[in-house]
Amino acid sequence: MQDRKVNPYIIALTVMLPTFMVLMDTSIVTVALSYMAGPLSVTTDDATWTLTVYLAASGIILPITGFLGNKFGRKNYFLISIIGFTVSSFLCGIAPTLDLLLLFRAIQGFAGGGLQPISQAILMESFPLEKRAQAMSIFSIGVIFAPILGPVIGGWIVDSYSWRWMFLINVPFGILATIMTLLFIFDPPYAKANKTLKLDYVALSFIAIGIGALQVMLDRGQEDDWFNSNFIVILALLSFFFISMFLIKNYFSDKPIIRMSLLKDRNYAIATIAMFFLGFLFFVTLTLLPELMQTLMNYDAYKSGLIMMPGGIASLITVIFIGRVSKKLGFKILIIFCVIIGLYALYLMEQINLTASPYFLLLGRVLIGLGLPLIFIPINVIAFIFLKNEDMGEASGVLNFARSIGGSFGISLMASTMLAHREAFHRGVLVSNITASNPIFQNYLHILSSYLFTYGGFNPTICYNKAIGLINNTINAQSTIMAFQDDFHLMTYIILVFLIFLPFIKTKTQKMQKIIISEM
């Protein structure tokens, strides 16, 4: 616990604020790339680097936040991160060129990457074991609701004002978070600065290059045609080589940047793997639905954000009650319940077609919003049951890195690569049936051409060509919606992974029994 007595719920709100700020900022930027491109005189593809650079910088810092917190003192590092994120947000908002914007986004990523793990470590130690589910419920409001709210706010900002306000809006929140941290956060003795810790710059450079290359590869892979691109091949080799070198260097180091020994704790190891898959599912669903609505149903960013928003409200309702429910049902039952809800939600999403109403989409999103907290909170609580308080900062950094890299893999593989490949596959199947010898196609083509001739006033040749164009558009739309259906279908199998972990999780009751035995 901390040296000074502060209401733990005030601490929870204090650490939730910067986490909410960082996650909302990340999701806001995703809807505004085209709005940024014009004023900066660059292409939308160039503007996408603002996401890539941020994700790479954030990914680099995540696994080493625990070490940095121990080195500089947890509160000091937390404050530095908040101030760094706030200042770099302001600089992003006034950046006159893309080059400067990318520089400030990198700084923003380095600063923002460490905020969530440190927030989580402070939160978990501030509450007794039996109340950590309630603590995670409060914290989850920021983690789950921010990415939902971000696109709505982002769509409204870019439509009503300027893209620069996406970054400038962080400044007042950053100032408030700084003040609250100064007033309410205090380091326990084990979290104060340890000046004797030496930073292994060689290992740090290995992990920075390795994870940076991996994040850029995942973000740009589909766009650059994966391993048909020399750029992607080089990134893959750099990632494999430098991450391998880091693991070797870190393993034989007397003062490792990341202590792999933490993974000897079975609960923590299982939670880390589970968090990878949770990040995979969470970010893929968060990406696929808006893309589907904007690509096939012609919804703008604001309207698609409004449809996504009730899912966040459902998550908010869930986290309010989950702390109490977990005491009665237990975490394993909650995870099973979540998997059932998730399976049904993904089944509904798999039924989406081109005539689906907004209410159907909203229902699926609400069910996902209800289910995700039921697994996010138990995994986070289970991970730290048997860890010491002084290990939580480092453990939280790796846990959040697993979630982040799972999201990167999910978006890259499911929302980009598989979607494109399945779309091409379905288009090939559909086109194969459109031949001169197919009487159904020929009859439909004749009816459509006649309609255009009768009501459009075009000559027969133009009517024929327009009819072919309309049929082609229909095929494109149908193959795309079928690709989305395939993605949701595959995720129904991925969510079952959580059930595999259940028999191996040690519960709170088992810990209490160990404590009682040790005191006898």
Number of domains, the chain = 3
209 and 100 together in one domain: no
CA pair distance 467, 446, nearest whole angstrom: 9
DSSP class of residue 392?
A: H
pLDDT of residue 200: 76
337 and 469 together in one domain: yes
Domain with 221, as residue range(s), is 200-256
Q: Contact, 484 vs 292, CB < 8 A?
A: yes
356 and 503 together in one domain: yes
DSSP class of residue 415?
A: I
- Given its phi and psi angles, is residue 403 left (phi above 0), alpha (psi -120 to 50 degrees) or beta? alpha
pLDDT of residue 205: 86
pLDDT of residue 515: 33
Residues of the chain with pLDDT under 50: 1, 510-520
349 and 451 together in one domain: yes
Model-level pTM? 0.77
237 and 336 together in one domain: no
264 lies in some domain: no
pLDDT of residue 83: 94
70 and 132 together in one domain: yes
212 and 192 together in one domain: no
110 and 162 together in one domain: yes
Q: Which of 275, 285, 344, 279 is nearest to 311 (CA)?
A: 285
261 lies in some domain: no
Q: Contact, 398 vs 63, CB < 8 A?
A: yes
What sign does the dihedral 381-387-388-394 (CA atoms) show? negative
pLDDT of residue 513: 39
pLDDT of residue 387: 80
218 and 241 together in one domain: yes
pLDDT of residue 520: 31
Q: Which of 341, 357, 378 is nearest to 492 (CA)?
A: 341
CA pair distance 8, 399, nearest whole angstrom: 22
499 lies in some domain: yes
DSSP class of residue 227?
A: G
The residue type found at 84 is: G
Estimate to the nearest angstrom the gap between the alpha carbon of 184 and the chain centroid: 28
